[in-house]
Structure 1
Amino acid sequence: MEDLSSFPLELTGPDIPMVRFMNVRKTYGDFVVLDNLNLDVAPSELVTVIGPSGSGKTTVLRMLMTLEKINGGVIYVDGKPLTHMPKNGVLVPADAKYLRKARSSIGMCFQHFNLFPHMTALQNCMEGPVQVLGLSRQDARGRAEELLSLVGMIDKKDQHPARLSGGQQQRVAIARALAMRPKVMLFDEVTSALDPEVIGEVTNVIKDLVPKHKLTMLMVTHQMGFARDISDRICFFYAGKIEEQNSPDELFTNPQSKRTQQFLSAVKAAD
């Protein structure tokens, strides 16, 4: 078992990151997906992860959602351990009860929306707050209507997903995730299933989330234009590590790593 005595029980100090990966390792048998990953995401920062297939991008999100167990290190959210819990003065792997509570501060939007097909847009946004958070239906309805207004979907609140376009479904999915009042939002290829003309509307919705909800966001995408438009910082992953990270302008116009240069050239050629 890994010695966790050197990891803090919680993060303290003036500039605590909203998300911290500390020496995080993920393997499948002998295959190393993430190799001692260290990454901080500041409060209200939007960080986008790019890289070739198999570089560990989506695994980062799945670990934050506790859909994947890590094999080493610790992940912290809002200063407290996510993957582990304090016990007798040391960190131990988190049990199911601790995980349920810890991940309540994290929301996720997937590539394929995953809306409940038998529910209207409004009902989709109400279900979690009622069933999980224990809100009254009246309070949940008020919250859902407020968020559907935020994403420009209040006029479609009584429509079922089958009657909505892809861009409309994605905006409802964002509202549904926000209804749980997360501190951190994860986006996994949220524009890849959308037509090019509606990517802009989803981009604008996501950009509005930081000032209105003070959200910290971590995003995975293979669409470089989207990443450049929306990110505060971009991390290029290669072979389970962060090969290079910088502002969008710097990384796209002046990449320092040869691997980053090769990746961006290949993406540009494919476009």
Structure 2
Amino acid sequence: MIRFMGVSKNYGTLAVIKELNLDVSEGEMVSIIGPSGSGKTTVLRILMTLESINGGVIYVDGEPLTHMARNGVLVPADERHLRSMRAKIGMCFQQFNLFPHMTVIQNCMEGPVHVLGLSKHEARGRSEELLTMVGMIDKKDDHPSRLSGGQQQRVAIARALAMRPKVMLFDEVTSALDPEVIGEVTNVIRKLVAEHNLTMLMVTHQMGFARDISDRVCFFYGGKIEEEATPRELFGDPQRERTKQFLSAIKEAV
């Protein structure tokens, strides 16, 4: 579903992503862990086309993401192609980015109506179904300012899902939350993994969550994958010295 082929990203002379090769299968949940500055969030921003790339090709659902075929060769994608590709990808950020002037239900309906062209009746039905799934249907007529951080993040997940993406990206979705409400959001993501055949890529500092929920964990260091394995293998018997150092430091911090 997602394929990075030799992808590089530079900021001036600083190489943030170095010749990245990564495949994520349909329905797979992959967590990305690693120290700050290792390139984790940049991977997600590239997939959302919020950042351009300097080399390589990315495929999503069998189609090139930032390129398109023309006369048998790949050329940089035009805006029309980028819009069609973005529709396949949903993202939840650290900050919830809900529209403050809209109610919860209006936040969820906005994209399906104005981007997908659904009728308001269809969009409302879809949004109510998703808000029920994330346990927020009783707050559908409230504005975001009346919600806790955990509640806002659950609404943000429902809003992303309302666009019917094939891929969901989560960027440290629990990092801005108080410890007592982190469980609200992690339980919603667990439910998504269990009940929906979504392909998911998650950047997280929550090692226990990554261990419990992932099919595969990638440890990033210096703009590349230093080690990748199943959660049991990576957390139980890491092979690379830098991975061992990182996990040891995490345990000491806890």
Q: Where in structure 2 are the equivalents of 1:26-45 lying within 5 Å?
A: 26-45=9-28
1:237 deviates by 0.4
CA distance in 1, matches of 2:231, 2:100: 37
4+ runs deviating over 6 angstroms: none
Tell me the TM-score normalized by structure 1: 0.92
Among 147, 166, 173, the alignment partner of 1:164 is 147
What residue is the counterpart of 1:151 in the other structure?
A: 134
Q: Which residue of 2 aligns with 1:50?
A: 33
- 2:165 equivalent to 1:186: no
Asked whether 1:134 is paired with 2:153, we answer no
Asked if 1 retains the 8 angstrom alpha-carbon contact of 2:193 and 2:213, the reply is no
CA distance in structure 2 between the aligned counterparts of 1:51 and 1:93, rounded to whole angstroms: 31
Partner of 1:267 in structure 2? 250
Measured in 1, the distance between the counterparts of 2:117 and 2:170 equals 25
Cα shift at 1:104: 0.7
**In structure 1, what residue type is equivalent to 2:209?**
F
Task: Name which of 120, 126, 129 aligns with 2:103.
Answer: 120
Q: Distance in 2 between matches of 1:253 and 1:211?
A: 24
Shift of 1:210: 3.3
Task: Work out the percentage of aligned pairs sharing the same amino acid.
Answer: 77
| Structure 2 match to 1:82 | 65
Name the aligned partner's letter for residue 101 of structure 1: S
**Partners in 1 of 2:84 and 2:189 — Cα distance?**
25
Q: In the alignment, does 2:4 pair up with 1:21?
A: yes
The question of 1:228 aligning with 2:221 is answered no
Determine if contact 2:168/2:200 at 8 Å carries over to the other structure.
yes
| Partner secondary structure for residue 53 of structure 1 | coil
Q: Residues of 2 paired with 1:190 and 1:230: CA distance?
A: 14
Aligned mates of 1:212, 1:145 — CA distance in 2: 17
Aligned-partner Cα distance in 2 for 1:101–1:212: 26
- Do the aligned partners of 1:21 and 1:75 also contact (CA within 8 Å) in 2? yes
The separation in 1 between residues aligned to 2:230 and 2:165, in whole angstroms, is: 25
Aligned-partner residue type, residue 139 of structure 1? E
Quick check: 1:203–1:230 contact (8 Å CA) kept in 2? no
Following TM superposition, by how much is the alpha carbon of 1:165 offset from its aligned partner in structure 2, in angstroms? 1.0
Query: What is the DSSP-based 3-state SS (H/G/I as helix, E as strand, rest coil) of the residue aligned with 1:113?
Result: coil
User: Letter of the aligned partner of 1:171 in structure 2?
Assistant: R
Partner SS, residue 87 of structure 2: helix
Query: Structure 1: how far apart are the matches of 2:30 and 2:132?
Result: 26
Unaligned 5+ segments in structure 1 are: 1-17
Residue equivalent to 1:96: 79
Distance 1:73 1:95 in 2: 17
Matched, 1:248 2:198: no
Tell me, yes or no, if structure 1 residue 196 matches structure 2 residue 188: no
TM-score for the superposition, normalised by structure 2? 0.98
Amino acid at match of 2:22: L
